[in-house]
Amino acid sequence: MIQLTIIKITGYGPWTLTLGSDREHRLQMLQASLYKEIQDLFSQKNCLAFPNRFDEIFVITNGLSVDDHVEIQKHLVKSFELGLSMSIGQGKTPFEASSNADTARRSNTGLSRDHNIFGLPLGKDADLVQIIHMDVDGSTSVSAKKSPYEVSSLIIKLYSEMSEFFLKRNSLAFFMGGDNFMILSSGANKDEITKFLEIVKQKYDISFNCGIGTAKTGRDAAKLATQSLDKIRELRDSGKKDTRILEITC
């Protein structure tokens, strides 16, 4: 079971219009500072936030109670003039958890109405998070042959391919910057990941390295996934073994 919280700016569209048309720089600053504050507050509680279209943020919140969410919401209310809703969902897969969170908000199923927190009463068994940290093998040499924007265009295509492939398997992929992606997965099947690697190799001539981490919290799962990825690099650089997928479970 994984627990996800979707944080959304409430009444954002109408509010943006009140700023007039010279607003883009202000919206960009607002979105960046909102993301920073959310990552800061949630990571202190062993959670990990993922940017989703800038005005919506997904957070792995395994182990977090409604009271923990209220505490964070109180901090955020002090820092931002805009309101935020938090929708909490649990599920057997990340997709199911995200759908449950969204359904709760749309059906106005509240866990704390005073603090704009939605969701069904939380079960206690949201205790397993799995993250796949995917990173392009040798992106520096790929980038050297392209202009910066051509590199971005390639990364967008890879992201699109990844998102579609893993969504079909109830997993959610996020672009984390540079050549890094993280996939919230459940019971990652190495044969399936291998299939994805073969598709991108064949279509784009790109190889990914995939570190998998499984733990009780988002931060711990990400730490183990990155540790697995670094181990793949270490094995590659020492010339010992060419591994593309490695898993560490706590």
Which residues lie near ligand GTP (CB under 6 A)?
A: 135-140, 176-180, 226, 233
Nearer to Mg ion, 55 or 179 (CB): 179
Of Mg ion, ligand GTP, none, which one does residue 55 interact with (CB within 5 to 8 Å by kind)?
A: none
Alpha-helical (H) ranges within 107-217 are 139-144, 148-167, 190-204
Nearer to ligand GTP, 118 or 166 (CB): 166
Separation of alpha carbons 87 and 68, rounded Å? 13
* Angle at the Cα of 48 from the Cα atoms of 116 and 70, rounded to 5 degrees: 25
Nearer to ligand GTP, 107 or 153 (CB): 153
Q: Is 209 helix (H, G, I), strand (E, B) or coil?
A: strand
Q: Does 136 bind Mg ion (CB under 5 A)?
A: yes
Q: Does 135 bind Mg ion (CB under 5 A)?
A: yes
Separation of alpha carbons 30 and 13, rounded Å? 14
Nearer to ligand GTP, 64 or 155 (CB): 155
Q: Does 9 bind Mg ion (CB under 5 A)?
A: no
Looking at 7, 73, 158, 179, which residue binds Mg ion (CB under 5 A)?
179
Look at residues 108, 28, 40 and name the one whose alpha carbon lies nearest to residue 75.
Answer: 40
Of Mg ion, ligand GTP, none, which one does residue 100 interact with (CB within 5 to 8 Å by kind)?
A: none
Amino acid (1-letter code) at residue 130: Q
Looking at 31, 62, 87, 139, which residue binds Mg ion (CB under 5 A)?
139
Separation of alpha carbons 244 and 197, rounded Å? 9
Binding residues vs Mg ion (CB under 5 A): 135-136, 139, 179
